[in-house]
A = this chain, B = another copy of it.
């Protein structure tokens, strides 16, 4: 089956967690809006009786599945990126939902007054929120995952088998390095296991090939992880 991924064609954003899973799985997929344009995506959003609220969404045969963590939940067990047993599936899904929460907080560093205003209209508030983010929130979330890797008994967050959560943690480290190079340089020594995990993901053959390809959209200031000098002090 050829999957159809629907997401904004010019950003990594929330779609990137799905792209990384599809690439690591070696799945056959088409990134629809990148190949056929945004109108093809908008038509899908208005069709049928179970429309997604927002991209990303994945067409898998007759199924249309939205919400990043829900898509990964679906793909995980099918492609060996999650345990097959219920307890394990619930656990990795739970971790992915915690990453989802963190991604909202990353987004809110540059959009504390909401997604409908421009960054330029909320710069002072963005500075305040970013300060809290690095003082309180990054340590809370990343120390949690660092500890999990420490006690998992393996190289990955849930043990000796890679899951889609590890791919997402790679993206979190990569994104924080891009958006906040100074903050992250100071913080990263606190999370040596996530540092290593990030490296191990980056050299996996399929991921390395993906990152070097033009399928990987570069980070930019329209996505979730944005580099604004004013916020990285």
Contacts and interface: CB of A to CB of B under 8 A. Distances in A.
Interface in A110-126: 112-117, 122, 125
A114 B98 contact: no
A146 interface: no
Interface string A91-121: 1011001100100110010001111110000
B144 A129 contact: no
A201 interface: no
A182 interface: no
Majority secondary structure of chain A interface residues (helix, strand, loop or mixed)? helix
B97 A108 contact: no
A133 to B, nearest CB: 7
A69 B105 CA distance: 18
Copies in the complex: 2
A135 interface: yes
A65 interface: yes
Given A53-B144, A98-B53, A144-B53, A90 B70 contact: yes
A112 B94 contact: no
A143 B15 CA distance: 24
A87 interface: yes
A220 B171 CA distance: 38
A186 interface: no
A52 interface: yes
Interface in A182-221: none
B137 A67 contact: no
